[in-house]
Structure 1
Amino acid sequence: MIEIIPAIDIIGGRCVRLSQGDYNRLTTYDSRPEEIARRMADAGVGRIHVVDLDGAKSGAPVNLRSVEAIASLGVAEIELGGGLKSDSALRSAFDAGATYAIGGSIAVKDQPTFAGWLRSFGPQRIILGADVRDGRVATDGWLADSPLTAADLIDRFRADGLTQAICTDIASDGMLKGPATEFYTGLSEMFPDVTVTVSGGISSMDDIMRLDDLGLKRVIVGKAIYEGHITLKQIEHYISTRG
């Protein structure tokens, strides 16, 4: 069964969603991150995808208090991304209660450091973040572009033990128009030893069931939950009946 991982994006300690990674196209939600996390965990999910958008933009973690508040609930594992560009930032993420750390910009710009994280903390705790726009990996909170493809970036770290990668299709992110299915199945076939997480475009439970049928292992769901296209009750039912 595909693992459903709900997303919490944070700016200024509040839950938000962006459309296509654009900080000027932002929707803020009333509930605090820890309140939403508890409701997500009550639906049966075991992992929550948390992104510190302030950290992604500034280059260092900003919303670690929110991470601490979620972690203190003890209800789900946290995979954290956003601004993790140094050893000290990584340590602060784990100290705040993150179970897994996502490295995106650091993997593009500082290969030795990210490779060192994989070796030191293990591939079970370090996740590669490859966020793609027009076929190329974007960095710095999606504000800059690199010449690398997602496949280039995944291949770069296979020798260091990489086993997990979150690949976001930026064009689909927050648009509720369905995921770029061929992109994800292609990556999974190319790298069978790496679990590729689908991120971007999920609009309904039908999208999730199709990804499951195609053999994909993990999917991140964000805006579809906040806008009511997928309810936590639906996720709970899916987990209880397919698990």
Structure 2
Amino acid sequence: MIILPAIDIMDGEVVRLEKGNFSRRKNYGTDPVSLAKFYKNAGFSYLHVVDLDAAKTGQPVNQSLIVDIARESGLFVDVGGGLKEEEDIAFYLENGVFAVNMGSLAVKEPGRTAKLIQKFGGDRIYVSLDLLGEDVRIHGWQEKATVKWQDLMKKLIKGGAETFVMTDISRDGMLSGVSEDFYKRILNTFPDIRLFASGGVSGLEDIRVLDRLGVYGVITGKALLEGKLKTEELAEWLC
């Protein structure tokens, strides 16, 4: 299992939202590039970056900043937020970003998403699904989709999807602990996917729970930013 620190960007700053609510935003006063370098120096190899401005508007906003993060940190960066055009995906993948996350596009246009996966590879295109209970949420979690997550995942896997970033919105940014049942249910239904768990990490015990479940990776933002999770505690998972 690998650990991915998360950097959420809004107005060029590192922020965290509570349950995806844009009105419940906390600024950390930290330069995103400097924070990424800190994580690299602490021993991390991977980084999850979300362009919240893009997630809200549906158009990439912080492209140059995100490319700087990838190039200057030397981390394997995956990025999400507002990505739907092939040229934007290609821009990131050709400029130092390791992988991109397809969220709203994957929900609304799974067929088109499958073509992008076939072109760029299942290891470079992640499917990012955000769930609030049984509901799939899109457009920065502001809109409820009509599709069932199980049916959508089956279709996307058939189209070549290998890696899924699954966020439990009800716990995201809350430091309330992860829902073991949430991720267990996903893995029981789709045991062969590479699953990145996101939402609710509050400390080391949550990391241990997810490791025992067999998730491929864990994304954690607020717990690291606020010192609830110490980098020195994570040595066995850093690679």
2:97 is aligned to: 98
1:162 aligned counterpart, secondary structure: coil
% identical equivalent positions: 35
- Provide the C-alpha distance between the structure 1 equivalents of 2:38 and 2:17, rounded to a whole number of angstroms: 21
CA RMSD in angstroms, aligned pairs only: 1.4
Q: CA deviation at 1:74?
A: 4.6
Q: TM-score when scaled to structure 2?
A: 0.95
Q: CA deviation at 1:89?
A: 2.1
Do 1:174 and 1:223's aligned partners in 2 also have CA atoms closer than 8 Å?
A: yes
- Provide the C-alpha distance between the structure 2 equivalents of 1:151 and 1:178, rounded to a whole number of angstroms: 24
- Provide the C-alpha distance between the structure 2 equivalents of 1:86 and 1:189, rounded to a whole number of angstroms: 33
Aligned AA (2:40): A
Aligned AA (2:152): L
- Provide the C-alpha distance between the structure 2 equivalents of 1:223 and 1:185, rounded to a whole number of angstroms: 23
- Provide the C-alpha distance between the structure 2 equivalents of 1:143 and 1:61, rounded to a whole number of angstroms: 17
Q: TM-score when scaled to structure 1?
A: 0.94
Do 1:15 and 1:31's aligned partners in 2 also have CA atoms closer than 8 Å?
A: yes
Do 2:33 and 2:73's aligned partners in 1 also have CA atoms closer than 8 Å?
A: no
2:14 aligned counterpart, secondary structure: strand
- Provide the C-alpha distance between the structure 1 equivalents of 2:149 and 2:175, rounded to a whole number of angstroms: 22
1:184 is aligned to: 183
Question: CA deviation digits over 1:144-181, x for unaligned, max 9?
Answer: 01022332221111112211000001000001111121
- Provide the C-alpha distance between the structure 1 equivalents of 2:182 and 2:133, rounded to a whole number of angstroms: 12
Do 1:132 and 1:149's aligned partners in 2 also have CA atoms closer than 8 Å?
A: no
1:135 is aligned to: 134
Q: How many residues matched?
A: 239
Do 2:37 and 2:73's aligned partners in 1 also have CA atoms closer than 8 Å?
A: no
Unaligned 5+ runs, structure 2: none
2:13 is aligned to: 14
Q: Would you identify which runs of 4 or more consecutive aligned residues in structure 1 move more than 4 Å?
A: none
Q: CA deviation at 1:214?
A: 2.2
Q: CA deviation at 1:5?
A: 0.7
Do 1:6 and 1:222's aligned partners in 2 also have CA atoms closer than 8 Å?
A: yes
1:206 is aligned to: 205
1:118 is aligned to: 117
